[in-house]
Amino acid sequence: MAATSFNKAVNTLLSVIGEAPVSSVDEGHMTAVMAKTTLEETTRAVQMLGWRWNTEPVTLEPNAQLEIACPSNTLSVHFSRQNANDTLILRNGRLYDLTNRSYKFTAGTKLESELVLELPWEELPEEARRYITIKAARQFGDRIVGDQAMHAFTQQEEYEAKGALWRAETGQQYRTIFDNYDSQKAIWRAFGA
């Protein structure tokens, strides 16, 4: 079975409210445009949570202007525990130092971080596409129709799709308690390592 296309996902949203499918969202069909917007909003909201498939480890360094720029599709930046820094935030695609109130960093600065990236629809795993589609369909139905019986039906489907996404997210990782920096630090301290 082929992966869910963006247009197919939009048509799923339309089917929830009883609308006929469209071959293209750019047809000027107002309800299809609203469905597309809801799907895009939901896609971004789900990706903001930061999943294994859209989180990448990166070493950030200042550019020639001594600013640390992040890719344009960066949703958030998280720093490793070793160089955790709660005074750095992402603003307008660049890191901003709240303490110094500046975008400028010293040359040679290297920050180990994880970037949560907004991926295009085609790069999402199928479990994520399904969950996003069902979540967006429930929200779209609530906005347009507001039928409680329909809401309960799609909410149950949403729970099932979210469970499948979580199984895919956690089932492919072989994590132990020792993968956590805080646990490692406690063990090293206890055994004098």
Q: CB of 115 within 8 A of CB of 58?
A: yes
Report the Cα 192 to chain-centroid distance in Å: 39
Choose between 130 and 172: higher pLDDT. Answer: 130
pLDDT tens readout for residues 46-89? 999 999 999 999 999 999 999 999 999 999 998 876 655 678 89
Helices (H), the chain: 6-16, 30-48, 126-144, 148-171, 181-191
Q: What pLDDT score does 79 carry?
A: 85
pLDDT tens readout for residues 89-121? 999 999 999 888 999 999 998 998 999 999 999
Per-residue H/E/C for 7-49: HHHHHHHHHHCCCCCCCCHHHCCHHHHHHHHHHHHHHHHHHHC
pLDDT category, 160, cuts 50, 70, 90? confident
Of 20-34, 113-127, 146-160, which has the strongest mean pLDDT?
113-127
Q: Where are the domains of the chain?
A: 12-49+124-171, 54-117
pLDDT at 193 over 60: no
Q: CB of 66 within 8 A of CB of 106?
A: yes
Average pLDDT over residues 159-178: 76
Q: What pLDDT score does 28 carry?
A: 75
Choose between 87 and 26: higher pLDDT. Answer: 87
Q: What is the mean pLDDT of the chain?
A: 85
Q: How far is CA 112 from CA 82, 93, 94, 99, in A?
A: 8, 17, 15, 19
Percentage of residues in the chain with pLDDT exceeding 90? Answer: 52
Q: What pLDDT score does 47 carry?
A: 97
3-class state of residue 56 by DSSP: strand
Average pLDDT over residues 160-167: 85
Q: CB of 102 within 8 A of CB of 93?
A: no
